[in-house]
A and B are shown apart, each in its own frame.
Chain A
Amino acid sequence: MKLSEILKNGIIKNNPIFVQLIGMCSVLAVTTSVQNSLAMGLAVTAVLVGSNFVISLLKNVIPDDIRIPAFVVVIATFVTVIEMFMKAYAQPIYQSLGIFLPLIVVNCIILARAEAFAFTNGLVPSIVDGIGTGLGYTVAVLILGTIREVFGAGTFLGIQVISNPIGILVMPAGAFIVLGILVALFKIIMARQEAN
């Protein structure tokens, strides 16, 4: 597979949110604001690239039988390091992400890429796959976060933009409704493109 194809695969064809629908818990929880969505997207991307890199590097060292615990150790290390640095240098974002930052450890997107891609592919393709999947995730949570913050809270990055927001959009129910509409739209666009 060409590198550009791997990248496109992560962002569009196999978008973790809109197509695979995995890692939903944190997606529904953090997308109440654009700032949180962006921070979460970047944190997930950083962990994905890091863990894909290390796991691809160690794929000949890690025995098959214990690959899952080994993956979890690698992922947990990256997440904890990022958490420490965020706490030290990006305190407000660290506080607003709360529990969902350490929970990236159990985010199945990252484990899935480690298992399905990095463990069987070379170093460079694995990094590209991490970037692609991470970008796909970031774009998806940003779209969700923007719609929910603008129409649900009436603000964009904390600045008032509309005066009568639809309150339910920032509630958990609103997350499901917006996500459902976006998944449907994404399917229509993909189907149109394939038909052409």
Chain B
Amino acid sequence: MNKTLKLGITLLIISSVAAGILGFSNKATSGKIAEIELKNTQDALAGIFGEFETYEETDAAELEKLRSTDENLVAVYKIIDGGETAGYSVTTTSNGFGGAIEIMVGINSDGEVLGARVLKHSETAGIGSKAADPTFTDLFTGQSASEELQVETISGATITSTAVIKGVNNARLVYQEVAAN
């Protein structure tokens, strides 16, 4: 009994010190991490919409409702320029060859796709990753969001291109729903 207690206490002390160190590093890095994530979002939005006044993030309750249209929905941003809604940006994920592919799609208030970007992916370098390049995702630009967006898949990267196309189309459906409100 005594020995068990001693072992437990030793492990407790080691774990407590570890927890302290982790808490300290979390405090040291969390501000910087939040800053980088915010900047990544802003850069991605600026890459699609160009210059705009401001943007609003759709709140969690609203996102939950929209998930009935696309269960993988990550975020929706309303782009505001000159006091009016200039368009919406929809971020969603789709399953590729190496896991989830995160895609951001920007659609203006006239229902024209301004651009699609792959934000995160873990597809095979040099093969599937071709379908994550802007040369592929730019093919969506200029299409109308009122009907299904069509792009030819890249041979050799069929799974990834199909996943990207599916993700972009799911984002389009979410756009239709938010734009209708």
Give the distance in Å from the alpha carbon of A53 to the alpha carbon of B6 in the complex: 24
Which listed residue (A81, A153, A165) contacts B21, Cβ 8 A? A81
A152-B126 CB under 8 A given contacts A66-B7, A87-B29: yes
Tell whether A88 is near chain B: CB-to-CB under 8 Å.
yes
Contact A170 B124, beta carbon cutoff 8 Å: yes
The one of B11, B18, B25 in contact with A84, judged by C-beta atoms closer than 8 angstroms, is B25
Give the Cβ gap from A135 to chain B, nearest Cβ, in Å.
25
Q: Give residues 1-41 of B contacting A (CB, 8 Å).
A: 6-7, 10-11, 14-15, 18, 21-22, 25-26, 28-29, 32-33, 36, 40
Q: How large is the interface on B (under 10, 10 to 19, 20 to 34, 35 or more residues)?
A: 20 to 34
Question: Which single member of B25, B40, B127 contacts A85 (CB below 8 Å)?
Answer: B25
Q: Contacts A87-B29, A87-B33 given: A63-B14 contact, CB under 8 Å?
A: no
B85 interface hit (Cβ, 8 Å): no
Count of A-B contacts with CB under 8 A? Answer: 73
Q: Is A42 an interface residue (CB 8 A)?
A: no
Interfacial chain A residues near B15, Cβ < 8 Å: 73
User: Closest B-chain residue to A69, C-beta based?
Assistant: B11
A45 within 8 A of B: no
Partner of A88, one of B29, B40, B125: B29
- Bound state CA distance, A88 and B25, in angstroms? 11
Which residue of B7, B29, B124, B126 is within 8 Å of A154 (Cβ)?
B126
| Given contact pairs A154-B126, A170-B124, A77 touches B18 in the complex (Cβ within 8 A) | yes
Cα(A170)–Cα(B125), bound, Å = 7
Cβ contacts under 8 Å, B156 to chain A: 167
Q: Could you tell me the distance in whole angstroms from the C-beta of B16 to the nearest C-beta in chain A? A: 10
Indicate if B120 sits at the interface (CB-CB under 8 A).
Answer: yes
How far, in angstroms, from A35 to B128 measured CA to CA in the complex?
18
Q: Is the CB of B18 within 8 A of A66?
A: no
- Contact residues, A14-52 vs B (CB, 8 A): 32-33
- How many chain A residues touch B (CB < 8 A): the figure is 33
- The verdict on A89 contacting B21 (CB below 8 Å), with A65-B7, A95-B120, A149-B125 known, is no
Q: Is A98 an interface residue (CB 8 A)?
A: yes
Q: A153: shortest Cβ distance to chain B, in Å?
A: 3
Please tell me if the beta carbons of B18 and A73 are within 8 angstroms of each other in the complex: yes
> For the complex, is B122 an interface residue (Cβ under 8 Å from A)?
yes
- The reply to whether A85 and B29 contact each other, CB–CB distance below 8 Å, is yes
Question: Are B126 and A153 closer than 8 Å at their CB atoms?
Answer: yes
Within 8 A of A (CB), among B88-122: 99, 120, 122
Which residues in A have some Cβ–Cβ distance to B below 8 Å? 32-33, 58, 61-63, 65-66, 69-70, 73-74, 76-77, 80-81, 84-85, 87-89, 91, 95, 98, 149, 152-155, 165, 167, 170-171
Question: Can you list 11 A-B pairs, Cβ within 8 angstroms, ordered by A?
Answer: A73-B11, A73-B18, A81-B22, A84-B25, A85-B25, A87-B29, A152-B125, A153-B125, A153-B127, A167-B126, A170-B126
